[in-house]
């Protein structure tokens, strides 16, 4: 494929409340992991591009943080602000819901989309969890009354069911336009960011309750040597007690996170990695605009 063959291009925002499977869909569409995922809500904190060429169309997907109601902390307001801004920038919107549970927060997201007045594809995810797909019909009927969707598509992002069909429906809606990113670029995020996100994902899996929400990862050292890459990262938490938990008994939890992250980073970079993790406390950083900015939430 060369630049001259692209006839259409545009931005497709993946929007929905937390945990419906937005990042899982982005990864399924791109065919590799560009955005981290987890069973815990509010995993994604930044917008992340996934770039793909399909026939004569360059589709630029934008994964977003889940829109949510509880805006108690500066971090929550930041995440909602990002998702809302992406809605305004996109050419087409994927409104993702979970086939097994439609809630007030989904209604809130739909209301925002109604105001945006853009082509919206309703994507009903996790259909692999339904015994009978006919269970979806009342929900589809209800939603059809609320918005004139450009298309309605039940999918399973995890099992890659209907993902290919979805992609073709999306391509039909994109305007004429030039190639916006080079052929081989799949995301906008630099490697250091991807590494920090991999570490954060392993932390989310290794910790419980509020801890996933109180941690962020900063890469301090990234040195490519002849035979290995040396990476040093700081895991920021909000309180001393959280630091003790992240480290675990005799350092066991931190070690587990480090081993899991190192394996994935080695796969990503294709070289041996020496990974060192530190845990540091920045009091109340998730509710402090200045601290958020200094940690990259800008
Ligand atoms: N059974 C099933 N699970 C899915 C499917 N898609 C995603 N999941 C799971 O749902 C959970 C949330 O997935 P994510 O992709 O992280 O969800 P998200 O919408 O990006 O969440 P936030 O970033 O928190 O807004 C994970 O445990 C996924 O494995 C699906 O099609 N079927
Ligand atoms: Mg996500």
Tens of pLDDT, residue by residue over 41-79, are: 999 999 999 999 999 999 999 999 999 998 889 999 999
Report pLDDT for 4: 60
How far is the centre of ligand 1, averaged over its atoms, from the C-alpha of 187 (Å)?
20
Residue 242 clears pLDDT 90, i.e. is over it = yes
Ligand 1 atom at shortest distance from the alpha carbon of 129 = 1
Q: Is the distance from the beta carbon of residue 160 to the nearest atom of ligand 1 less than 6 Å?
A: no
Q: Which atom of ligand 1 is nearest to the CA of 18?
A: 25
- The ligand 1 atom at the shortest distance from the C-alpha of residue 37 is 16
The structural domains of the chain, with segments of one domain joined by +, span 3-173, 191-294
Closest to 215 in 3D by CA, of 198, 203, 206: 203
Tokens of 63: 């994964």
Q: Are strands 48-54 and 228-237 parallel, antiparallel or unpaired?
A: unpaired
Mean pLDDT over the full length of the chain: 96
Q: Taking the domain 3-173, which CATH number applies?
A: 3.40.50.300
Task: Return the best residue to mutate from 22, 35, 37 for the ligand 1 pocket (most ligand atoms within 8 A of CB).
Answer: 37
The pLDDT value recorded for residue 241 is 97
Q: Tell me how far the alpha carbon of residue 266 lies from the centroid of ligand 2, in angstroms.
A: 23
Are 9 and 178 in contact by the 8 Å Cβ rule? The answer is yes
pLDDT at 298: 83
Question: Considering only CA atoms, which residue is closest to atom 30 of ligand 1?
Answer: 126
Alpha helices (H) along 215-277: 240-247, 252-269
What is the model's pTM?
A: 0.97
Higher pLDDT, 298 or 129: 129
Q: Is the CB of 68 inside a 6 Å radius of any atom of ligand 1?
A: no
1 has a pLDDT exceeding 90: no
Determine which residue's CA is closest to atom 2 belonging to ligand 1: 126
Superfamily of domain 191-294, CATH level 4? K homology (KH) domain (3.30.300.20)
Q: Distance, CA 26 to ligand 2 centroid (Å)? A: 9
In the block, which residue shows the tokens 């979806």?
136
Q: What percent of the chain has pLDDT over 70?
A: 99
Burial 242-270 (b: 16+ CB within 10 A, else e): bbebbbeeeeebbeebbebbbebbeeebe
Q: Which of 2-16, 112-126, 201-215, 230-244 has the lowest mean pLDDT?
A: 2-16
Query: If you take atom 24 of ligand 1, which residue's CA is the nearest one?
Result: 42
State the average pLDDT over residues 239-244.
Answer: 97
156 lines ligand 1 (CB under 6 A): yes
pLDDT at 2 over 60: no
């Amino acid at each position: 494929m060369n630049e001259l063959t692209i006839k259409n291009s545009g931005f497709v925002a993946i929007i929905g409340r937390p945990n419906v499977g937005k990042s899982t869909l982005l990864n399924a569409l791109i065919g590799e992991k560009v955005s981290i995922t987890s069973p815990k809500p509010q995993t994604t904190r930044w917008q992340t591009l996934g770039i793909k060429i399909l026939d004569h169309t360059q589709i630029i997907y934008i994964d977003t943080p889940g829109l949510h109601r509880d805006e108690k902390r500066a971090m929550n307001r930041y995440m909602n602000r990002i998702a809302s801004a992406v809605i305004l920038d996109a050419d087409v919107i994927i409104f993702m819901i979970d086939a097994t549970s439609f809630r007030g927060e989904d209604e809130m997201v739909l209301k925002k989309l109604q105001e945006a007045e853009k082509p919206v594809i309703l994507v009903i995810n996790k259909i692999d969890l339904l015994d009978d797909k006919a269970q979806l019909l009342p929900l589809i009927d209800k939603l059809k009354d609320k918005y004139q969707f450009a298309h309605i598509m039940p999918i399973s992002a995890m099992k890659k069911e209907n993902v290919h069909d979805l992609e073709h429906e999306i391509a039909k809606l994109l305007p004429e336009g030039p190639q916006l990113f080079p052929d081989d670029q799949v995301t906008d995020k630099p490697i250091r960011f991807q590494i920090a996100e991999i570490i954060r994902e392993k932390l989310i899996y290794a910790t419980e309750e509020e801890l996933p929400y109180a941690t962020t990862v900063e890469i301090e050292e990234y040195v490519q040597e002849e035979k290995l890459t040396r990476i040093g990262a700081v895991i920021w938490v909000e309180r001393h007690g959280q630091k003790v938990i992240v480290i675990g008994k005799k350092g066991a939890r931190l070690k587990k996170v480090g081993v899991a992250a190192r394996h994935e980073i080695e796969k990503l970079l294709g070289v041996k990695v020496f990974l060192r993790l530190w845990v540091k406390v920045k009091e109340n950083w998730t509710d402090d605009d200045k601290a958020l900015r200094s940690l990259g939430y800008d």
